Amino acid sequence: MIPSPAEISSSLYGAWRLVCLDKDAAKYFNLTIEGFWRSFFAAVVSLPYFAVGVLWLPQEAIDAGLEIPDPVLASLAYALSWVVYPAVAIVLVRIFELSQGYVSYIIAYNWAGALIAQPLLVLAMIEHAGLIDSNTMGALQMPIFIFVLWYGWIIARRTLGAGMWMACAMVFIAKMIDILLFVALIGPAT
């Protein structure tokens, strides 16, 4: 189930409209069951960032002794990061009686991930070109990470109708799953 280029474009625009706090952002997503499954194509849209940002380490990192991740394990962690959280989220939304928004939540969450990957790809390419060092890259990534937390919170609030603390919990669980998957399968950065 590959979405059409128009659906991809519309979904990414919807994800952008969520950043802008547009109350009508949902109209840009395909909020059907087919749209739910197609939203996982966002993993393909995000793949260039994964390849450049995770698999291809800058020379500075290699010179500092950072090990290149095993591409098979890193790819497994990447694939699982797109599947495990939605599976956990369905349990959480049932427990907290937020099931009515689950499909739209995952659709928005997935496309938001693809949107976020694009500026991260640009930063990774700038780092690989040697235009910024790893310390500068880390300094630039911190506000982006904070933005990602806020963005995930907005998505949970808007699509699930989650309260402030439940939205925080959803974001925390999502990020912990990502971190645990990558640490378990690739190992911590040393």
Distance of CA 148 to the CA centre of its chain: 8
Q: Where are the domains of the chain?
A: 5-186
Mean pLDDT, each 10-residue run in order, the chain (190 residues) = 94 96 95 97 93 68 66 84 95 93 97 94 84 85 92 95 93 93 70
Burial 110-131 (b: 16+ CB within 10 A, else e): bbbbbbbbeebbebbeebbeee
Q: From the CB of residue 29, how many other CB atoms can be counted at a distance below 10 Å?
A: 26
The pLDDT value given to residue 63: 66
